[in-house]
Structure 1
Amino acid sequence: MNLPIIDLAIFLIYMLAIVGFGISFSFRKRNSNDFTTGGGRLPSWAIGMSIFATFVSSISFLALPGNAYLSNWNGFVFSLSIPLAALIAVKYFVPLYRKLNSESAYFYLEQRFGLWARIYASICYLLTQLARMGTILYLLALPMNALFGWSIPMIIIITGISVIIYSMMGGIEAVIWTDAIQGIVLIAGALACLLVIFIEIPGGPSEVFMIAESSDKFSLGSFELDFTTSTFWMILIYGLFINLQNFGIDQNYVQRYISAKTEKEAIKSTWLGSLLYVPVSLIFFFIGTALFAFYQAQPDLLPESLSGMENADKVFPYFIVSQLPTGITGLLIASIFAAGMSSVSTSVNSSATVILSDHFKKYIQPNPSEKTSMRVLWISSLAMGIASILVGLAFNGVASALDAWWALASIFSGGILGLFLLGLIVQNTTSKQAAIAVLAGVLVIIWMSLSALIFTGELEPFQNPLHSNMTIVMGTVTIFILGFVLGAIGNKKKA
């Protein structure tokens, strides 16, 4: 399928404009503080839009409509947990990071448990970001390859290089301002798509609701208290833990808290970014439901190769190139790339910040000059960007890059979240006790993630009985409870 010249032109102009806009920030006189926190002078609305855009990666842009098309709105329950996670963040985490006077999210762990905790958390974070960036670049390339025949390696390399250029040269100001623009483009593209579906479906919007209702497409899932399948409560609890991780310990978000002018502005930006995601994710789910109704009403418009439910993720990209008016198609393709680029650029900048703050300043040079700090940030941004491209290329041909990403993210992030909560809530746990709790928690996470592969045949009863999404929940709870118990036992012995 060939992309019309006008749509291709809109897409290319958008890509060049974003890269050029990001590069423009490099012409300002900046230091390392400007690169990592924007000098603490960025407006709350731009930071909030950046938080939102970071949340909506290309995975969300394509996977949420595909999920709703395939089943129902069970996945939307994840979004319902965001306000509670944001409330905890603005009450406890935002004030904490604003007071620490460090650009690193993991400086607190060193204060609380010692250097090992900071090293452990920061290395886990960097590995998680590499896997995340590579996955996003790869999944971004898949629909473009399927629809237009564009080379997967070419898309990964060009997109990755584009992001590296402006995030490396412009620092977090470039990341946040380009994120803000890309967030607006993303929302506009989604609304345009939904409007076209309403206009073109025979019978109008009422037909969408009628078909969707008859197929139980608006269901939020079973309300049974069952954590072995994808029930309402399982997704809600999983979402709460994942979003606590995002808003509470993720360097991507912590840097934005510090980039705001005041604590009040940081809180406003957190609420804007988090609450904006809820209705926008609802739009994405509704697009998937509307697409189901659209092709149910007009089955002849969907090729037989895409009619199977195993191809649900490809239906939305196909609709974009086959049904949208010329010009709008280019906007939507730009939106998909915007979602991916905003997430990758954020990870590049935050990873470079972690490398400088948590590693270079700790092991190599405690008090580097501004020139040295900037050189480390540039080299780190370039290195992480190139590494993410290589990870994306390595995913090419993997059966499920998304499953691989979920497994890696659970192993790394579960341990960090549990350690943070232990440090914040349980005051009497020692460094050694925390290390034992983290080790136990990580072992639980590894067992839950890999038991289906290890325990087969007669050993099948030893497999994880819970839904895979519960991995981060159980790992975090294990660390917290064991750390609490060890701390209590230690105190009792002292008494």
Structure 2
Amino acid sequence: MRPPLSGGLPAMDAAVLLLYLIAVLWVGLRAGKRPKTVEQFALGGHKMPWWAVLGSLIAAETSAAFFLGTPAEGYALGNYEYLQLSLGTVLARVLVAYLFVKPYFTYRVTSIYQFLDLRFGPKTKSAASATFLLTRLLASGARLYVASILPVLAVKLLWGGGVSAGQELSIYTASALLLTLFTTLYTVAGGIRAVIWTDLLQAGLMLSGGLLTLLLLFQKIPWGSSSPLTEAAHLLAALPWAETGIDPHRNLWENLGFVLSSDYTIWAALIGSTFITMATHGADQDLVQRLLTAKNHHRSRLSLILSGLTDVPLVFLFLTIGIFLGLLARSTSDPRLPAQANEVFPYFILCQTPPGVRGLLVAAIFATAMGSLSAALNALATSFCEDWAFRFLPVASDEKARVRLLRGSTVLFALLSVAIACATAFFALHSPKSRILPIVLGLFGYTYGPLLGVFLLGVLTRSRGSDLGNCLAMSCGLAVVALLSGAPQALLGLVSPAEAGRLAWFPSVSFPWRVFVGSISTFLVGLCFRSSARLYPAAEA
């Protein structure tokens, strides 16, 4: 099929995309109401309705990595295996709602790492805050790269594929800069209120785009004697929901090694995924900051639990898109179809959707990118200022000076995110077989395990863990994850492939298990230390 971009982006698509950008700017600038205090900028004055917080959580969870990465998983695997990981996300949200949310409200923290300062001391707070800042910055840059895939693919189609690696990297950079510019404008001006209200718009656009894509696929696939519902039901029935990865012919350690090295088993769904979501929704300033904008912890809990109930159908929707894209690819044998799974959904949007609809889907991808980026920038600025920068302001500094510093920090992290997006693009260009979700989740896996472990130590114990001991525990957790994630083999492989081969026996864990391993290691090491426990969150919760 000849791509409909040979004459450039149709005027109708450009108009839809421009209308979306104008609408987001208008909503963000108008809803923000120019916050004058740190509490208004970072927490919206604790006046956000629970349903707005719910919409913002959905928008945060459906980033560009989700919008494009989940169909890529469905396309690459051809089944619903990834859906199993959604089971743990529901359980995790209930645990977070009743373990973490009330203490954060009780002690009126702006940055959740202030809670660790109250519980343990400044060293623990600084270590956790630094971990969040580094990890969230890396993940935000990776997500920004994902959103830039579509413009790059569009240029390839326009130029007949004759794009050098250097030119491709330049397009990634220009796309990341454009998206970041629009996002930073309303985030700097309106703070968290602008983030949440624009997230509502973006969540609606994302959902509409997914449903519209599925409808188009229904129409394009030559089903024959089958049907879309029959095909989906067949794949779900064939899914090994009770796949344990346990073989009676292997011994205990062999079975354990196989389970921990497998991406999708029932154990990864119920344990690994639960710990991932506990980390992202309980120990990550980005998502928790949205929860803290609610009027009280009861409404915050409601938003959080309901967001979990929407996660499973959303994952199912976008996995179905990927699976049906595979069916369409096999039935049409399009020679222009990209080899990379990451680019198949963007290719379908650009080449096989009618004008107007194409513009809406492109806007939906931009919406997912801008929604996750705006919240990340606000959370990064809040954590950086509350945990680090405000201490260097003069004692007599007023709220205006603090808000100015928050806005300046937002711009700084926007620029850093663009730089990391470019670095991620460079990596992807030299690793064409890489998949989106393992990259993004892999970033969390290394550092969010230790981060979750120290928070669990704070809310589940009354006097265990110490300020200095927690720093040691987090270091041990990070080291264990690195050792069990193939780092020794990778380092030796740079020196000598033969040396790396000698460590083939060394145990390795897949990305759904890294947070679990890191948090348990951190928690167990932290238990070895005793603190004076300046407050008792376990009793308060």
TM over 0.5: yes
Q: In structure 2, what is the equivalent of residue 287 of structure 1?
A: 321
User: Displacement, 1:213?
Assistant: 6.6
Q: 1:357 aligns with which of 372, 378, 386?
A: 386
Q: In the alignment, residue 384 of structure 1 is paired with which amino acid?
A: F
Question: CA-to-partner distance for each residue in 1:57-96, whole Å, 9 max, x for gaps?
Answer: 1011011111111112111112111110111111121111
Residues 233 and 26 of structure 1, relative CA distance in 2, 3 Å threshold: closer
Tell me which moved more, 373-382 or 150-159: 150-159
1:295-374 residue pairs with structure 2 within 5 A? Answer: 295-296=329-330, 298-300=331-333, 302-306=334-338, 310-365=339-394, 368-374=397-403
User: Displacement, 1:360?
Assistant: 2.1
2:99–2:459: 8 Å Cα contact kept in structure 1?
no
User: Displacement, 1:363?
Assistant: 4.5
Are positions 1:433 and 2:469 aligned together?
Answer: yes
User: Displacement, 1:194?
Assistant: 0.8
Q: In structure 2, what is the equivalent of residue 165 of structure 1?
A: 185
Q: In structure 2, what is the equivalent of residue 80 of structure 1?
A: 87
1:455–1:462: 8 Å Cα contact kept in structure 2?
no
Q: In the alignment, residue 184 of structure 1 is paired with which amino acid?
A: G
Q: 1:453 aligns with which of 490, 507, 530?
A: 490
Residues 367 and 116 of structure 1, relative CA distance in 2, 3 Å threshold: farther
2:37–2:399: 8 Å Cα contact kept in structure 1?
yes
Q: In structure 1, what is the equivalent of residue 71 of structure 2?
A: 65
Residues 204 and 53 of structure 1, relative CA distance in 2, 3 Å threshold: farther
Residues 218 and 24 of structure 1, relative CA distance in 2, 3 Å threshold: farther
Tell me the distance in 1 between the aligned counterparts of 2:143 and 2:484: 24
Tell me the distance in 1 between the aligned counterparts of 2:187 and 2:304: 22
Tell me the distance in 2 between the aligned counterparts of 1:224 and 1:462: 19
- Structure having the larger proportion of residues in helix: 1
Tell me the distance in 1 between the aligned counterparts of 2:225 and 2:28: 40
Q: In structure 2, what is the equivalent of residue 137 of structure 1?
A: 144
User: Displacement, 1:268?
Assistant: 1.7
Q: In structure 2, what is the equivalent of residue 224 of structure 1?
A: 245
Tell me the distance in 1 between the aligned counterparts of 2:262 and 2:87: 18
Q: In the alignment, residue 389 of structure 2 is paired with which amino acid?
A: F
Tell me the distance in 2 between the aligned counterparts of 1:234 and 1:382: 41
User: Displacement, 1:219?
Assistant: 2.0
Residues 335 and 69 of structure 1, relative CA distance in 2, 3 Å threshold: same
Q: 1:102 aligns with which of 97, 106, 109?
A: 109
1:68–1:217: 8 Å Cα contact kept in structure 2?
no
User: Displacement, 1:315?
Assistant: 1.8
Residues 148 and 30 of structure 1, relative CA distance in 2, 3 Å threshold: same
Q: In structure 2, what is the equivalent of residue 491 of structure 1?
A: none
User: Displacement, 1:485?
Assistant: 4.3
Secondary structure of 2:382's partner? helix
Tell me the distance in 2 between the aligned counterparts of 1:356 and 1:279: 37
Tell me the distance in 2 between the aligned counterparts of 1:462 and 1:441: 21
Q: In structure 2, what is the equivalent of residue 493 of structure 1?
A: none
Tell me which moved more, 467-476 or 197-206: 197-206
1:49–1:272: 8 Å Cα contact kept in structure 2?
no
Q: In structure 1, what is the equivalent of residue 292 of structure 2?
A: 258
Q: In the alignment, residue 437 of structure 1 is paired with which amino acid?
A: A
Secondary structure of 1:259's partner? coil
1:414–1:473: 8 Å Cα contact kept in structure 2?
yes
Size of the aligned set, in residue pairs, is 483
Tell me the distance in 1 between the aligned counterparts of 2:272 and 2:113: 23
Q: In the alignment, residue 481 of structure 2 is paired with which amino acid?
A: I
User: Displacement, 1:451?
Assistant: 2.2
Are positions 1:471 and 2:514 aligned together?
Answer: yes
Tell me the distance in 2 between the aligned counterparts of 1:163 and 1:266: 25
Question: CA-to-partner distance for each residue in 1:96-141, whole Å, 9 max, x for gaps?
Answer: 1111111111111112221001101111111112111211111111
Where does the alignment leave 5 or more consecutive residues of structure 1 unmatched? 489-495
Tell me the distance in 2 between the aligned counterparts of 1:206 and 1:272: 35
Question: CA-to-partner distance for each residue in 1:151-197, whole Å, 9 max, x for gaps?
Answer: 22111110011111111111000000000110011001101111122
User: Displacement, 1:305?
Assistant: 4.2
User: Displacement, 1:430?
Assistant: 3.6
Tell me the distance in 1 between the aligned counterparts of 2:507 and 2:393: 43
1:98–1:257: 8 Å Cα contact kept in structure 2?
no
Secondary structure of 1:460's partner? coil
Tell me the distance in 2 between the aligned counterparts of 1:60 and 1:39: 30
Tell me the distance in 2 between the aligned counterparts of 1:207 and 1:220: 22
Secondary structure of 1:81's partner? helix
TM-score (norm 2): 0.84
Q: In the alignment, residue 429 of structure 1 is paired with which amino acid?
A: R
Q: In structure 2, what is the equivalent of residue 198 of structure 1?
A: 218
Tell me the distance in 2 between the aligned counterparts of 1:78 and 1:480: 23
Q: In structure 2, what is the equivalent of residue 38 of structure 1?
A: 44
User: Displacement, 1:321?
Assistant: 2.2
1:266-281 residue pairs with structure 2 within 5 A? Answer: 266-281=300-315
1:208–1:293: 8 Å Cα contact kept in structure 2?
no
1:475-494 residue pairs with structure 2 within 5 A? Answer: 475-487=518-530
1:201–1:207: 8 Å Cα contact kept in structure 2?
no
Secondary structure of 2:484's partner? helix
Question: CA-to-partner distance for each residue in 1:328-376, whole Å, 9 max, x for gaps?
Answer: 1111111111111100000000111112211123344567411111111
Question: CA-to-partner distance for each residue in 1:13-64, whole Å, 9 max, x for gaps?
Answer: 1112212321224554632211101111111111101011101110110111
Tell me the distance in 1 between the aligned counterparts of 2:519 and 2:138: 21
Residues 76 and 205 of structure 1, relative CA distance in 2, 3 Å threshold: farther
User: Displacement, 1:461?
Assistant: 4.2
Q: In structure 1, what is the equivalent of residue 455 of structure 2?
A: 420
Q: In the alignment, residue 383 of structure 1 is paired with which amino acid?
A: L
CA RMSD of the aligned region, Å? 2.4
Residues 21 and 260 of structure 1, relative CA distance in 2, 3 Å threshold: same
Q: In the alignment, residue 204 of structure 2 is paired with which amino acid?
A: I
1:45–1:272: 8 Å Cα contact kept in structure 2?
no
Secondary structure of 2:262's partner? coil
Q: In the alignment, residue 116 of structure 2 is paired with which amino acid?
A: L
Tell me which moved more, 193-202 or 456-465: 456-465
* Percent identity over paired residues: 28
2:341–2:435: 8 Å Cα contact kept in structure 1?
no
Tell me the distance in 1 between the aligned counterparts of 2:228 and 2:469: 56
TM-score (norm 1): 0.91
Tell me which moved more, 145-154 or 85-94: 145-154
Q: In structure 1, what is the equivalent of residue 154 of structure 2?
A: 147
Tell me the distance in 2 between the aligned counterparts of 1:295 and 1:162: 35
Residues 126 and 207 of structure 1, relative CA distance in 2, 3 Å threshold: same
1:65–1:288: 8 Å Cα contact kept in structure 2?
yes
Question: CA-to-partner distance for each residue in 1:248-271, whole Å, 9 max, x for gaps?
Answer: 111122212221112222122112
Are positions 1:3 and 2:9 aligned together?
Answer: yes
Are positions 1:242 and 2:285 aligned together?
Answer: no
Are positions 1:23 and 2:29 aligned together?
Answer: yes
Tell me the distance in 1 between the aligned counterparts of 2:238 and 2:80: 6
User: Displacement, 1:203?
Assistant: 3.8
